[in-house]
Structure 1
Amino acid sequence: MSALSTSALFAAVSILFLAFIFLRRARHRYPPGPQGWPLIGNLFNAPTSFEWLVYLEWSRKYNSDIVHFEVLGTHYVVLNSAKAAADLFERRSHIYSDKPGAPMIEMTGLDKNIGLMKYSDHWRANRRLFHQYFRSTVVSTYHPLTARAVRELIYALSKEPSQFEKHIRKMAGANILRIIYGMEVESEDDSYMVVIDDVLHAISTVASSRAYLVDSFPILRHVPAWFPGAKFKREIAKWRVSVEEMYMRPFRELKVAFESGHAKPCVLTNMLFDISQDKEGRDPAMLEQVAINTAGTAYSAAADTITLALINFILAMLMHPEVQERAQEEIVSILGPDKLPEMEDQDSLPFITAVMKESLRWRPPLPLAVPHRAVVDDEYNGYHIPAGSVVIGNGWAIMHDNSRYPDPESFNPARFLDHEGKLRKDVPDPMQAFGYGRRICPGRYFVFDTLWMTEANILAVFSIQKPQDELGNAVEPGGEYTSGTFSFPTPFEARFQRRDGAGSLS
C-alpha cells in the first residue's frame, strides 16, 4: 500500500471516529463542563487535588449547579447545590445509592467498610445493624463513656497542651473502642492505634475518586509488584494486613471472652449475644461477618471525622477569639464558673451548638464525601446521566452556598441563631458533612453528640490562644489545608490557658 493510500485510510478512520464521538455527544446532552479530548476525555484537565474548589469554580463558570466531565470513558457528574443533591440522592435514591467500587478498595479489604460497599442485600444487612446501635434514640446510652473520654482529654490538655492534636486523636479513638469493643487504650502509641491510623490513611487515599490508575484499568491488578509503576501493589500488601488486623483482632479477642462468659459490656458483645439467640436459622458465619463489618466501620467512620472536626474547631477559635469569648460567656452565665457542661445542658447552650454546626459547615472534614454511582441511565433538568456515572455531591459547595449561608467564607456561628439567641429552624444544618440519601452516615448522631460535649468542655476550661514568637508577638495560624478524602489543616500551634475561675475543674 502506498504512503498516500495509508494516509488517506488513516484520515478516513480519524474522521469516522470523530464523527462517532460527535454523534454520541449530540444524541446525549450531558451537563456542561470543560472540553475534553476524544477517547481520553478530560484526563489532563480534570482536577486531582482540591477537587471541591475546582468543581465549585466550574459551577460558576458554566452557570450550572450540575457539571460533567469524562475520563477514559467514565462519566463524572458533580452536584454543587442542595437541590440537585436532594433531587438525585434522596428522591431518586433507587438510582443513586450504589457506590462506584474500585479494585483498590477490594484488594485492600476496605470493601468491609459499609460506606464503601456496593449497594446490595449484604449492604442493607450491614446498614440495618449499624442503625440499630447508632440511631438517635440509642446514642444517649453512650454519653457516660463519652463524658469520661472528654474528661481524660481535658486532663491531657492540662498536662501537655502542645500535643493537642495527639490528645484529640487519642480521645476520639479510645472512646469509640470502649463503646464498640470494650477495649482500653492507655496511650497514643498503643499498637492497635498505630494500625488504625494506617487504615484511616488508606481509606483517605483509596476512597478518593481516580486515586489510582488501576481503578480506571482493572487489568492492571494482575501486574506483579516488581513491575515498573506497580507501587500500588506494594501499598495494597501493606494496607491489607492493617485492614485485616483492625477488623479481626478485636473481634477475635472479644469472641473468646464472650464464649468464656467474661466479655465486657459493649456494642459487639450485644451483637454476639443477638447472634447466639437468633431464631431465624440464619448462617452464624454470615451474621458474624456483618457484625465484624459494622463494628469496624463504626470506628473508622467516626474516628477521623471527630478528630478532624475538633482540630478545625481549635483553628476556628484561634482565628476568631471573639467567638470563643461569647461561647465562654454563655457557659458561665448558664452553668456558673465551676461546672463542666453535660449533654443534658445542650438545650441551655444554643451558642455552643451553633459553634459546633458552624465548624462543620466552615471546614467540612470530608468536602466531597464518598462518590455514588448511577445504576441506570437517567435524565435530570434536560441533561443525560449515563448508567455507571460516578456522581459526586460537592458538600463544600453546598455548605458555602451564599443563598443558604450568606458570606459563607466567614466563620459566624450567629447565622444559626435568631434575635433571641435561640437556634433557627430555617437555617439548614450542615448535614452534607455526613453524605447523602440512603448512604448518609448512620453514625452522625453519635458524632454530633461527641463534638458538642468535647467543644463545650474545652471552652469551659481553657482559653485557646495563639502562640508567641521570641519577641512576644502572636503567631498567626496559616489556615491552609491539605487535599484528600479528609482535608486536614496544615500543622499549627495553639496554647491552652486554663481560664480564671476554672481552677477547681478537673
Structure 2
Amino acid sequence: MSLAAVAAIFAVALVIVNHNKKGERPPLPPGPPPLPIVGNVSGIDLGAPWLSYAKWGRLYGDLVYTRFFSQVIIIVNSEKVAKDLLDRRSHNYSDRPFLPTIAPFGLGFNTVLFRYGPLWRFHRRLFHQALRPQAALAYRPMQMQKGFQLLKGILETPENYVDHLHLHSGSIIMSAVYNYEAEDGDDPFLRLIQRAVDIVIEDVRPELSSILGAFPILLNVFNLPSWVPGIRLNKRAAESRECVRQWVEKPFQYTEETMAAGTATPSLVSNALRKIEGEDQSGEVRQVIKDVAATAFAAGAETTNSTLRAFILAMVLYPEVQERAQKLIDSVVGSERLPNFDDRSSMPYLEAILRETLRWHPTFPLSLPHAPVDDDIYNGYLIPKGAMIIPNVWAMSHDESVYPNSHEFIPERFLDSNGDLTDDTAQYAFGFGRRNCVGRYVADASLWSAIALMLATFKFAKVKDNDGNDINFEVKWSAGITSHPLPFPLTITPRVPGMDATMLDQLISATNCQI
C-alpha cells in the first residue's frame, strides 16, 4: 500500500510539473479567430491566398498563426523575418512538411519536395556542379541562340507569343539538362512535361495536403477506379503519374542513346553519367541523376515562362518604361546588331526592369513551404516543430515601407540617385536558406537575354479601337502554386518598320559575330 501511495503521489506530481511546463511555453503567433474543426480559413481568397495572408499580416504582424484542420501553418509576411528564420537559422528550417499528395501524383522523384537529409544533399550537390555561377556561364551562347529563336517565332506569329515563350523557356532547360533540341511548334517532350507541370501546379497545393493529412482515409480516393462518378482527383492523379513517368524516363533515355552513339555534347546528364561510368554497379547514382534532371525542368521552365509573361504585360501597361529601355538599348548597342551579355553592365535600367518584374508579381507568390525540425522561439513566439512555414513573397515584394506604390511597375526603385543599381536584387523571388533556387544563375541569364532581345526588336502595346484609342482591359492572374497573367489583348510589332525574317537574320548574324 505504501508503494502504491508513493507511486500515486509521484504520478500527480508529474502531471503538475508537466502542466506547469506547458504553461511556461511561449504563445503562438497571433492570427485570425479559428472556426471549429477546420481552423482559421474564413475569408481566404483561394484564387490568391497571398492577398489574404498579406491582409492578415497588416492586422496581426509579420508572423501569423493559422491552422487548417490539424496542420499548423505559420505565415511569414516580412523579408527580414524570413531571412532571420530561413537563412540565419537554416539548420532548423531546411526541411519540407510532409505532403500526402506527393506519392499519388507521382512526385516522389522531385528534389524540391524532398525532406531534408542525405538524399536531398546528394541531389543538391549534383545541381550545384551543373548550375553554380561559374558553370552557368557555359550556357550563355545557347541561351542567346534560344533568344534568337524566340524573336523569329514572335516575328512570324506574334499572336502565338505565349506558345513561343513556352518553347523558349522549355528548350533552354532541355538543352542544358539533356542536350535535347526542342522542335519548333508542338514538341512532344515539352508537351508531355508541360501537361504534368500544369496538373501539379493546379492540384498539388498546401490546402489539399492539409485536408489529406487531417483525414488520411481520403487517400483511398486515389485507389478507387477512375470511372467512379465524381472521382476527379483520382483521374488527375493517375494522369499525372503517367505523364511524370514519361517525363522522368524519356528525355533521360534520349541522352543515353546519344552518348551510346557518340553524338552527345556536354549537358547536366551526360557530364554526370560520364563521371560515374563503370562505378555505379547498383544503378543508384544513375537514378539520382535521372531524378535531378527531371526536377530541373519543372523548376526552371515554368518560372522563366511565367516571369516573361509578366514582363510583357508590364510593357503593355507601362509604355513609358518600355520607351526608356529601348532608347537605352539604341544608345548602347546601336541599330546594326542585337544586345548580348557583354552589354549587360552598360544597361542598368534593363537590370532594374528585370528586378522589378520579379518583384511586381512573383511567380511563386507563396514560395514553397519550409518546416522546422525542432521547436523554435522568435520574438517571444513559439514556432512548433513540424509547422508549415509559408514565406509570403508577395507580401514582401509589396511592402509599402520598402516599395512605395508597390502595385505600380517602377524599375527606378532599384536605381540610386546616380542611376546605379541598388543592393536590392529581389532575391526573395528565388527562395530562402538552403532551399533557395540552385538554378537562379541560369534563370537570371535566360530572363535577361530574353528581355533585352525582345525590347530591342519589338514594341508591345494595347490594342486600339477604330478611333485610335487604347482599349483597356482587366488584368487577371492564374491560381495555383505558381501564378502568371492570363491571356490579355495586345499588339506586338517590330520596332523597325517593314522588318522581315531576312532583316532579323542579318541582325542575328551581326550579333553572333560578337558572342
TM-score (norm 1): 0.90
- Tell me which residue corresponds to 2:300: 302
Equivalents in 1 of 2:191, 2:315: separation in Å? 29
Q: Deviations over 1:21-48 (max 9, x none)?
A: xx97995511111111344322555553
Aligned partners of 2:96, 2:486: CA distance in 1, in Å?
30
C-alpha displacement at 1:187, in angstroms?
Answer: 2.8
- Structural mapping, 1:229-378, within 5 Å: 230-276=231-277, 278=279, 284-378=282-376
1:139 aligns with 2:140: no
Structure-2 change in CA distance of 1:423 and 1:314 (3 Å): same
Deviation at 1:214, TM superposition (A): 2.3
CA distance in 2, matches of 1:76, 1:24: 20
Q: Does 1:456 align with 2:452?
A: yes
Give the counterpart letter for 1:436 in structure 2.
Answer: F
Q: CA deviation at 1:219?
A: 3.1
Listed one character per residue, the Cα deviations across residues 387-441 of structure 1 (whole Å, up to 9, x for unaligned) are: 110000011111111222222111110111122322122xx21111111110001
Structure 2 CA distance for aligned equivalents of residues 284 and 262 of structure 1 = 26
User: Take 2:339 and 2:450, find their aligned partners in 1: how far apart are those partners?
Assistant: 9
Q: Does 1:500 align with 2:496?
A: yes
Q: Which residue of 2 aligns with 1:106?
A: 103
Q: Which residue is equivalent to 2:469?
A: 473
How far apart are residue 210 of structure 1 and its match?
Answer: 1.1
Within a 5 Å distance, the mapping from 1:476-495 to structure 2 comes to 476-495=472-491
Question: After the TM superposition, which of the residue ranges 357-366 and 23-32 deviates more from structure 2?
Answer: 23-32
Change (3 A) 1:163 1:177: same
Partner of 2:172: 175
Pick which of 182-191 and 23-32 moved more. Answer: 23-32
Q: After superposing the two structures, state which structure 1 stretch, 167-176 or 311-320, moved more.
A: 167-176
C-alpha RMSD over aligned residues: 2.2
Query: Cα distance, 1:284 vs. partner?
Result: 4.7
Shift of 1:206: 4.0
Choose which of 99, 104, 113 in structure 2 pairs with 1:116.
113
Number of residues of Structure 1 aligned to a counterpart in Structure 2: 480
* Structure 1 residues 269 and 44, CA gap change in structure 2 (3 angstroms): same
TM-score in terms of structure 2 length: 0.88
Select which of 422, 425, 429 maps to 1:424.
Answer: 422
Deviations 1:331-370 (A, max 9, x none): 0111112220111110011111111110110011110111
Q: 1:459–1:214: structure 2 CA closer, same or farther, 3 Å change rule?
A: same
Could you tell me whether the CA contact under 8 Å between 1:462 and 1:497 is conserved in 2?
A: yes
- Cα distance in 2 for partners of 1:143, 1:476 equals 38
Q: List per-residue Cα deviations over 1:244-301 (Å, max 9, x = no partner).
A: 11111111222233234333432211111012165xxx65511111111111111111
Q: Deviations over 1:4-30 (max 9, x none)?
A: xxxxxxxxxxxxxxxxxxx97995511
Identify the range of structure 1 (97-106 vs 468-477) with the bigger mean alpha-carbon deviation: 468-477
Q: Which residue of 2 aligns with 1:85?
A: 82
1:384 partner SS: strand
What is the CA–CA distance in structure 1 between the aligned matches of 2:376 and 2:401, rounded to whole Å?
28
Shift of 1:309: 0.5
Greater Cα offset, 24-33 or 431-440: 24-33
306-315 vs 254-263, which moves further: 254-263
CA contact (8 A) 1:337 1:501 kept: no
TM-superposed deviation, 1:376: 1.5
Tell me the residue number matched to 2:440: 444
Give secondary structure in 2 for the equivalent of 1:476. coil
Give the Cα separation in 2 of the matches to 1:163 and 1:184. Answer: 20
Q: Does 1:210 align with 2:207?
A: yes
Q: Is residue 339–residue 505 contact of structure 1 (8 Å, CA) maintained in 2?
A: no
- Per-residue Cα deviation, 1:89-122 (whole angstroms, up to 9, x for no partner): 0111121111113121122221211111111110
* 8 Å Cα contact 1:89/1:437 also seen in 2: yes
* 1:197 aligned onto 2:198: no
Query: What is the CA–CA distance in structure 1 between the aligned matches of 2:498 and 2:399, rounded to whole Å?
Result: 39
Amino acid at match of 2:220: H
- Counterpart for residue 7 of structure 1: none
2:31 to 15, 30, 33: 33
Contact 1:162 1:493 (8 Å CA) reproduced: no
Question: What does the per-residue CA deviation read over 1:65-94, in whole Å, with 9 as the maximum and x for residues that have no partner?
Answer: 110111222110011111110111011112
Instruction: Give, as a single letter, the amino acid of the residue that structure 1 aligns with 2:224.
Output: A
Q: State the one-letter code of the partner of 1:225.
A: L
Distance 2:159 2:431 in 1: 33
Q: Distance in 2 between matches of 1:234 and 1:190?
A: 25
Q: Work out the CA distance in 1 between the residues paired with 2:429 and 2:204.
A: 16
Contact 1:479 1:489 in 2 (8 A): yes
SS in structure 1 of the partner of residue 65 of structure 2: strand
Match of 2:508 in 1: none
Deviation, 1:225, is: 2.1
- Contact 1:133–1:267, Cα closer than 8 Å, also in 2: yes
Task: Structure 2: state its 5+ residue gaps.
Answer: 1-20, 506-515
SS of equivalent to 1:89 = helix
2:14 corresponds to: none
Other structure's SS at 2:218 match: helix
Structure 1 segments, 4+ long, off by >6 Å, are 23-26
In 1, the alpha carbon distance for the partners of 2:485 and 2:277 equals: 45
Cα offset, 1:199, TM superposition: 1.5
Gaps of 5+ in 1: 1-22
1:38 & 1:244 partners in 2: Cα distance?
40
Q: What is the CA deviation profile of residues 289-318 of structure 1, one whole-angstrom value per residue up to 9, with x for unaligned ones?
A: 111111111111111111010010000000
After superposition, what is the alpha-carbon deviation per residue over 1:210-244, rounded to whole angstroms, capped at 9, x for unaligned? 13532432332234424665432221111000011
Contact residue 482 and residue 490 of structure 1 kept, 8 A: yes
